[in-house]
Structure 1
Amino acid sequence: MLELILSGLLGHVDGYRLPGDSERGWPVVPTLRSPQVARQIVLTDADNTPLATVVVERSRSDGEDSWWVSGTVREERRAEHGIARAQRLTVESGIGRGAVVLIAGRFSPADAESLRGEVGTEPLDAVVVGPADSAAAARLLQDVEDWGRARGGTRVWYLPDAGAGHDGIDVAAAVLASMGAAHFIDLRHHVARRDTGAVVLFTGLSGAGKSTIARALVERISSSGIYRPVLLDGDDVRHELSAGLGFGREDRERNLRRIAWVAARVAEGGGLAVCAPIAPFASSRDMMRAMVEPVAPFLVVYVSTPLAVAESRDRKGLYAKARAGLIEDFTGIDSPYETPTDADLVLDTSTSSIEECVAGVLAVIAARGESTTEGRQVDDRDE
């Protein structure tokens, strides 16, 4: 959305507004949520390079740990786009004078034939809406460019996918309308996820059975050959990836951010990332979801084993030390655990066997449109 604002592709839109606000003449009202409120908020790219500054005029709590902010955007630096630098749609592209087609998801021979019937050989502007997965976006763009060269009289443009606005507005259609192409041929397809993996987050108290289920799941999937699973267990991650971090809220957040980043890369490459930290806070789990879902499904499994049962298993003696005051900020004792309200599955290892728990997780993965243990696709779920 930031690119669309800075490029002028949304007309008079010059910043962000609070949810529910409206602006005369704005085709879309962008919204922005921030973990903190400040007079100015710097927006960065994936490499932490500052791209723009939001001059905050108003703010409103989202009811959790973040804030909606409203203000104008000031560009600091042009983004260095990974793909389609030359084909990026701009206000100077001059589309809207002839036929325009909007393409997303895939471009098939049937789509090409449909266009031949609708526009014949007249000049055509083909606008490719690229998904968050840069590899998939590059493949789609290449398919359309190859077809456009063979057809002739076709200009191919690239528009990053900004999804739907907070108010449900079709952002891509709004961009075309602002450029004078309110009427266009819509060849956007919602395609099932087939070439990416998934992330499974087990969350629950220490001793609830998260790691045991996670290891059993990885063993089961490894033997089936569906995915190449990667286990990101809490203790292992702490030792290898997050050495030096403490257990206060800020360090826990940093640890989970690292797990989410690695998990997203695993899933993006077609693997299954199985994560088993405690992840006690809803805001941290939401942050992990936001980092993963642009590239892969994010499944939350809440291991709800009661505290008394988890404490009775205290193999490491951690609960005993926490009760004695030797460990501070211990989840379930003097630090809260926020029960997930968005869990895809709830398991209790005090009433279910590990085999039953693993079967439940596999069923959830299959229900989300991923491969079953027999290696077949069970659902063409729309993204």
Structure 2
Amino acid sequence: MDAASWTPDDAERADLELLLSGAFSPLQGFLDRADTESVRATGRLADGTEWPVPVVLQVPDELAGAPALTLTDPEGAPLARLAITEAWPAGRGRQFVAGPVAALAEPAYGTFRSLHLTPAQVREQLGSGPVLATVAGTPLHCAGIAGLRAAAECLDARTLLLIPTGTSGDEPLVRAVLAAAAELPGAVPVAVALRSPDGSAAHALLGAHVAAAYGATHLLAAAGLPGAPLPVVPPTPAAQPALSDEALNALLDAGAPLPAGFTPAAVERELRRTRRPLTRRGLVVLFTGLSGSGKSTLARGLHDTLLERGDRTTTLLDGDVVRRMLSAGLGFSRADRDLNITRIGYVAAEAARHGGVAICAPIAPYASTRAAVRAMAEAAGDFVLVWVSTPLERCEARDRKGLYARARAGGLPGFTGIDDPYEEPLDADVVIDTSDRPIGDCVAEVVTFLRHGGWLSDQTAVTP
């Protein structure tokens, strides 16, 4: 009988890759309850072996009783077989499952697959002798490269660059580290499915365990890492970047030059390709508000203004138009409304990914769905939320389409503001009440916000 299948989420799939490759040695699979609780409490497995973070897998309740699961990639291709040895509640209809994993196939897709080497392959490539590893969770600049080179020379060691790729969208980091590797002759770059460093000691220790599995004899990392399985070499003060991340991002946002000698030219090219100046970066502007609040009118006004300016490629995703063209067949249940807004967010994020400005004007009544759209947009570019806060009584008085009258009469059940809630945004970037203001003034307020935020230049529209 074939085993039931399950697709782990991105983080669990990254852990699976490291388990299968041997990078999480001595682990052979997902931890059982005793090991999980012991790691959380003491940083050790139940048998006393040091291990810094739980490596666990959650599945729906109905799968937890199976003797085994086939773990698949998002397209359904099998990756590994999990022999379930234990299950225990995780809450919300899910359970943790534990047991050893065995590879069924290599991952069939993903970027930089040629850099996803196993520890055995890397050890063979490095040979014998000292190896200094660093977990390159951020781009390497001139000072850091010099510090890494000096530490390696002191140890007479090869350099191993472990690049975390366990978080979606890590391709820019890989490109930047590869550009820096050209400044480190003999360095071996390896993509490992670690999540990007979060600054915690547990995550730093996990990186140390992975480095040791890959054959490192020393680790370049911040001092004070008790429990590390190999000697830690702290970076020298000269190895610290000359710019803070905030200062670097501000220069990139403005398209301004970086200080001479701060980073190699090849790394700078990758930084600029990844973080475009704000005036060329993709942007999603989401107008949200009740029916009749003026959001569609404002969105059209902003769209017209940007078309007149001509300096940004712009698309308009009006709620009513999207309902006809993209979401035909959907009703007005919460699930259908969420799906409609998710579709709008997906299309808008794709426009932003290619440097465009996407203007959206759905009602978008639910905070959780707006947050999901924000996350999609910010993975591709930037996001601005405009709450058109015109009160219900004013919207109902306008009632250009007669919708409120029908809802009050019971002809439109679930109508937002009448018998379905509108969750007022707590995270709006701009709040506009159109009750007693000319639409032109309201549009100008949004344009001013975008200009002050850097997404629009100071130019004015061409006057006929």
Q: TM-score normalized by structure 1?
A: 0.76
Within 1, Cα distance between the matches of 2:32 and 2:427?
27
2:39 matched to 1:3? no
Which digits, 9 at most, give the CA deviation of each residue in 1:172-217, with x for residues without a partner? 6343222236832578984636334122221110111111111222
Deviation at 1:51, TM superposition (A): 6.8
Which residue in 1 is equivalent to 2:176? 140
Normalized per residue, the structure richer in helix is 2
Within 1, Cα distance between the matches of 2:194 and 2:282?
21
Pair 1:81–1:208, CA change in 2 (3 A)? same
1:183 corresponds, among 214, 219, 226, to 219
Give the number of the structure whose alpha-carbon radius of gyration is greater. Answer: 2
Which residue in 2 is equivalent to 1:101? 134
Of residues 82-91 and 258-267 in structure 1, the stretch that sits farther from structure 2 once superposed is: 82-91
Pair 1:305–1:228, CA change in 2 (3 A)? same
Which digits, 9 at most, give the CA deviation of each residue in 1:119-163, with x for residues without a partner? 347410112345744663463254245x16xx4321011245734
Which residue in 1 is equivalent to 2:159? 124
Q: What SS class does the counterpart of residue 202 from structure 1 fall into? A: strand
2:258 matched to 1:173? no
Pair 1:97–1:122, CA change in 2 (3 A)? closer
Maintained 8 Å contact 1:164/1:171: no
Which residue in 1 is equivalent to 2:110? 82
Question: In structure 1, what residue type is equivalent to 2:114?
Answer: A
| Structure 2: segments with no counterpart, 5+ residues | 1-10, 45-50, 222-234, 254-274, 460-464
Maintained 8 Å contact 2:352/2:381: yes
Question: In structure 1, what residue type is equivalent to 2:189?
Answer: V
Within 2, Cα distance between the matches of 1:207 and 1:49?
48
Pair 1:348–1:70, CA change in 2 (3 A)? farther
Considering Cα pairs closer than 8 Å and 6+ residues apart, tell me whether 1 or 2 has the greater RCO.
1
Maintained 8 Å contact 1:208/1:349: yes
Indicate the RMSD between aligned Cα atoms, in angstroms. Answer: 4.0
Which residue in 2 is equivalent to 1:374? 458
Which residue in 2 is equivalent to 1:300? 385
Question: In structure 2, what residue type is equivalent to 1:140?
Answer: A
* Number of residue pairs the alignment of both structures matches: 360
Alignment of 1:6-17 (within 5 A): 6=16, 7-8=18-19, 9=23, 14=30
Q: What SS class does the counterpart of residue 287 from structure 2 fall into? A: strand
Tell me the percent identity: 35
Q: What SS class does the counterpart of residue 330 from structure 1 fall into? A: coil
Which residue in 1 is equivalent to 2:257? none
Of residues 289-298 and 24-33 in structure 1, the stretch that sits farther from structure 2 once superposed is: 24-33
Within 1, Cα distance between the matches of 2:24 and 2:440?
53
Task: Provide runs of 4+ in structure 1 moved above 6 Å.
Answer: 15-18, 30-34, 41-44, 48-56, 73-77, 186-189
Within 1, Cα distance between the matches of 2:452 and 2:79?
39
Maintained 8 Å contact 1:132/1:295: no
Question: In structure 2, what residue type is equivalent to 1:119?
Answer: A
Maintained 8 Å contact 2:15/2:193: no
Which residue in 2 is equivalent to 1:22? 40
Alignment of 1:182-221 (within 5 A): 183-184=219-220, 190=245, 192=249, 194-195=275-276, 196-221=281-306
Pair 1:226–1:107, CA change in 2 (3 A)? farther
Pair 1:333–1:306, CA change in 2 (3 A)? same
Pair 1:46–1:86, CA change in 2 (3 A)? same
Q: What SS class does the counterpart of residue 183 from structure 1 fall into? A: strand
